[in-house]
Amino acid sequence: MTPINDAHSEPDQTAKPKKLRFHLVTKAALKRLAVLFIVLIALTITFVLYGTVMPGESHRGPLPPATIVQQQLADELRTSVTILADATGGVGRVGNRSTFYPKRFAQAAAYIHDTLKSFSYTTITEIPVARGSPVPNFEVSIPGTTLPGEIVVVGAHYDAFQGTPGADDNASGVAAVLHLARTLRETAPKRTIRLLFFVNEEPPAFWTPDMGSWVYAKRCRAANDNIVAMFSIESIGYYSDSPGSQKYPPPLSFLYPDTGNFIGFVSNLSSRPLNRRAITTFRATTAFPSEGANLPGWLHGVGWSDHWSFWKEGYRAIMITDTAVFRNPHYHTPTDHPNTLDYDRMSRVVEGISAVVKAEASRP
């Protein structure tokens, strides 16, 4: 006899329990993750193309033999760097020069002033820094012919980090700007060229109102000066052919060579057009390796010189550099001596910088 099931009947013990299904990731969520991944890839590609791909072709392979002019320029640069950065105490040698060594700072200022005077500049403008420096910024100017109200600034700081002779940082940059002051004086550029020698780039004035280049840039902004380009020449004398000799702030090591044998052109994003023009001219005129970067100004190392001051005042500015701390083991140490620099390669770079400045001052 078959029993009759009712409300009080026992459940069927042979029935299988239903499986509980947990959906950890829905199809909609997977689609959103895929879209996000594609966007991130697109942004990365855009960053690489916009920020690191430069016009023209960098020189590759051995450098051509130095010309007589380049050999003479190398000797000229060596002389300037040695006078400013030889810490042996020889007659006429400066060495450590900063607010911590006011006497030597004054000797460096006198050397720059007297050298400019020897180039027959009748007006050497001194721009004092209200606090923090016993010596001024120096400026000489080459008037423009057809566009004198548009100004191209080229500058280098002549102080050194405390306790260091500062050959690469930044007697090398000062030597380059002195050379430009001598050789550009007889040119007739469309735009006015101003050549500047700044104080107080190094700590404790770095990125403060006492920074000599910021004092100058604020003065230019207050006067409504139409600065169309600024080139900061910062540490340009140290090179190496050894693999692994070049470092970068992350994530740039994936995008650039690891051999420190090139000169770098560095800008923030708003100065990208200027940087691209500059490296285009350099590569077209100079047989020397070059790399360029247009990066956010807040990225580690991008704003570490006097170009930063001009960014603060809304001007387009770039840094031309051997990358300093990312390559030179003597950076900010007592061993930053003149004999650690490569004046042959430095002479080629300075020739290229000269071509860049001339092109910017005379472009249509």
* Domain coordinates in residue numbering, the chain: 56-362
Buried b (16+ CB within 10 A) or exposed e, 261-283: bbbbbbbbeebbebbbbbbbbbb
Omega before 243 cis (within 30°)?
no
- Map tokens 């902004």 to a residue: 221
Q: For position 31, what pLDDT does the model report? A: 74
Question: Taking each helix axis from N to C terminus, what angle separates 272-285 and 343-362, rounded to the nearest 10 degrees?
Answer: 120
Those residues whose C-beta lies under 8 Å from the C-beta of residue 298, and which sit 6 or more positions away, are none
Local structure of residue 258 (DSSP, 8 states): S
For 80, list phi and psi in degrees, rounded to 5: -65, -45
Q: How far is CA 122 from the centre of its chain?
A: 31
Q: For position 114, what pLDDT does the model report? A: 97
Which residues on neighbouring strands pair with residue 152, listed in sequence order?
Answer: 193, 229
Burial of 297 (0-12, 13-18, 19+ CB in 10 A): middle
Q: For position 357, what pLDDT does the model report? A: 98
Per DSSP (E only), the strands in the chain are 125-127, 137-142, 147-157, 191-198, 226-234, 263-267, 290-294, 317-321
Q: For position 99, what pLDDT does the model report? A: 92
Q: For position 132, what pLDDT does the model report? A: 74
Alpha-carbon distance of 139 to 41, in angstroms, equals: 47
Q: Which of 110, 116, 99, 104 is nearest to 199 (CA)?
A: 99
**CA 224-183-180 angle, 5° bins:** 50
Q: Of how many residues is the chain composed? A: 364
Q: For position 301, what pLDDT does the model report? A: 95
Q: Which two tokens stand for residue 338?
A: 């003149």
Q: For position 11, what pLDDT does the model report? A: 52
In terms of DSSP bridges, do strands 226-234 and 147-157 run parallel, antiparallel, or are they unpaired? Answer: parallel
Q: For position 1, what pLDDT does the model report? A: 42
Q: How far is CA 92 from the centre of its chain?
A: 30
- Indicate the CATH number for domain 56-362: 3.40.630.10
CB 309 within 8 A of CB 214: yes
DSSP for 316-359, please give it.
Answer: -EEEEE--GGGT-TTTTSTT--GGGS-HHHHHHHHHHHHHHHHH
- 218's enclosing H/E stretch is helix 212-222
> Three-state DSSP class for 101?
strand
- 281's enclosing H/E stretch is helix 272-285
| pLDDT under 70: residue ranges of the chain | 1-25, 35, 37-49, 89-91
Q: Which two tokens stand for residue 337?
A: 């001596």
Which residues on neighbouring strands pair with residue 265, listed in sequence order?
Answer: 292, 320
Burial of 347 (0-12, 13-18, 19+ CB in 10 A): buried
Query: How many CB atoms are located within 10 Å of the residue 245 CB?
Result: 18
> Three-state DSSP class for 312?
helix
pTM as predicted: 0.89
Q: Which of 174, 61, 173 is nearest to 116 (CA)?
A: 174
Alpha-carbon distance of 25 to 30, in angstroms, equals: 7
